[in-house]
Amino acid sequence: MSVEADPTVQAVAAQHLGADPRVVFETADADAWLDSYSGPRLALAYVDCRPGKFHRLEDLLNLLEPGGLYIVDDLLPQATWPTGHQDRVDDFLAHLPDRLNLICTQLRWASGLVVGARI
Ligand SMILES: C[S@@+](CC[C@H](N)C(=O)[O-])C[C@H]1O[C@@H](n2cnc3c(N)ncnc32)[C@H](O)[C@@H]1O
């Protein structure tokens, strides 16, 4: 499942992954998709936008199957971040240990990752 709001970006994903019958491409806002998705639970969520990361994390985690992987990136400071974004990231990281249905670790690698598993 590739959920992407920008049709141009989605087209790039389809260009590379479109031959794989396992991949469904949803050109939609992720908040709207979270509201409407009713398919099978997911084995992996790689979240690269705010819904499912900085807000609605619980809604996203509820879509993961037990043992399903939760991965997010862009968590190490970047010069291009707008004012206030560091606080958003800090808050996200500070509250991850509070999640009773997720076990995860932070990787100080590449853009900064969190890799977790739904429990
Ligand atoms: C940080 S970019 C990453 C793009 C790509 N993964 C890369 O590494 O080059 C985030 C992507 O999420 C998409 N996006 C942002 N907010 C979104 C939302 N609310 N719903 C769906 N897609 C969203 C943007 O269009 C953009 O393509």
Is the shortest distance between the CB of 9 and ligand 1 below 6 Å? yes
Tens digit of pLDDT for each residue in 30-53?
999 999 999 999 999 999 999 999
DSSP 67-103: EEEEEE---S--TTPPTTHHHHHHHHHHHGGG-TTEE
Determine which residue's CA is closest to atom 7 belonging to ligand 1. 48
Per-residue confidence (pLDDT) for residue 3, from 0 to 100:
97
Give the CATH superfamily of 41-119: Vaccinia Virus protein VP39 (3.40.50.150)
Determine which residue's CA is closest to atom 9 belonging to ligand 1. 9
Is the shortest distance between the CB of 68 and ligand 1 below 6 Å? no
Which residues belong to CATH 3.40.50.150 in the chain? 41-119
Per-residue confidence (pLDDT) for residue 46, from 0 to 100:
96
Q: How confident is the model at residue 107 (pLDDT cuts 50, 70, 90)?
A: very high
Contact 68, 45 (CB under 8 A): yes
Per-residue confidence (pLDDT) for residue 60, from 0 to 100:
97
- In 90-100, which positions are buried (b, 16+ CB within 10 angstroms) versus exposed (e)? eebeeebeebe
Nearest-CA neighbor of 103 among 55, 75, 77, 69?
A: 69
Q: How confident is the model at residue 19 (pLDDT cuts 50, 70, 90)?
A: very high
